[in-house]
Amino acid sequence: MTSQRISIFPLPGAVLYPGLHLPLHIFEPRYRAMISDALARDRRIGMIQPQRPMEGAPLFSVGCLGRIGEVEALEDGRFNIILEGETRFRVIRELDVTTPFRQVEGELIDETGRQVLAAVERAGFEREARRFADSQGYAVDWDSVTRLDDISLINGVSQIVPFDPASKQALLEASDLSARCELLIQLLQFFGHGDGDDDSVSTTLQ
């Protein structure tokens, strides 16, 4: 395993997966400084969730390293960026730094495990995803969904579905695609029985 220093963006409810994209609007001064620093270096930052939505809260153990792709620098110092997921990382320790943004020593996670679903797994997920979407009243282009490869489908839904932060973290930490698919089905079943009052989900997979 390879470890490296990673500047992090702790954001509750936001997860990024390798191969996917996350649009971000950067407005806080410390994170504007982080983006400026990353652009001057290797364009990489780490997305990770804090365990609690409060300043300086402990971090969950796993996040995703992303590369800043598209960037729009606004006149007042804010940024609009598209972060491209590269690989997950595991936090070894948080570093004592003088920068306004937090940094960790992170161990990059090997993503070469099983990345293809069995036909029965794929069919079971698509069946449960349709039930969940119907129960929540979401309009989904199922023809486009069926054309997605397994990684784009499972990771894409895991990234955008409006679960609580702990559930989204559990999906991110799943050992491989099959394990993530199994957990995602369980969560779709569980949350599909709720009142469906969260309309924040997008049905566009990037």
Residues 100 and 18 in one domain: yes
Residue 56: how many other CB atoms lie within 10 Å: 9
Digit-coded pLDDT (tens) for 49-74: 999 989 899 999 999 999 999 999 99
Name the one residue in this structure whose structure tokens are 């609690």. Answer: 52
Give the CATH number for residue 187: 1.20.58
19: containing domain: 3-108
Structure tokens that stand for 136 in this block: 């929540």
Element housing 68 (H / E): strand 62-73
Residues 123 and 151 in one domain: yes
Residues 36 and 124 in one domain: no
Asked whether residue 10 is assigned to any structural domain, the reply reads yes
Structure tokens that stand for 85 in this block: 């997921």
d(CA 52, CA 143): 38
pLDDT over 80 (residue 196): no
Phi, psi (rounded to 5 degrees) for 64: -135, 130
Digit-coded pLDDT (tens) for 116-135: 999 999 999 999 999 999 98
Residues 99 and 138 in one domain: no
Digit-coded pLDDT (tens) for 79-114: 999 999 999 999 999 999 999 999 999 999 988 766
**Coil, strand or helix at 76:** coil
| Residue of 146 and 192 predicted with greater confidence | 146
Quickly state the pLDDT bin for 168 (edges 50, 70, 90): very high
What pTM was estimated for this model as a whole? 0.87
Residues 40 and 89 in one domain: yes
Structural domains of the chain, count? 2
Residues 8 and 95 in one domain: yes
pLDDT at 191: 87
For range 146-175, the mean pLDDT: 94
pLDDT over 50 (residue 205): no
pLDDT at 123: 95
Residues 11 and 101 in one domain: yes
Quickly state the pLDDT bin for 1 (edges 50, 70, 90): low
Asked whether residue 199 is assigned to any structural domain, the reply reads no
Residues 8 and 63 in one domain: yes
**Percentage, residues of the chain above pLDDT 70:** 92
Residues 143 and 101 in one domain: no
Asked whether residue 123 is assigned to any structural domain, the reply reads yes
pLDDT at 194: 58
Structure tokens that stand for 186 in this block: 């369980």
pLDDT at 115: 81
Rg (CA), the chain: 17
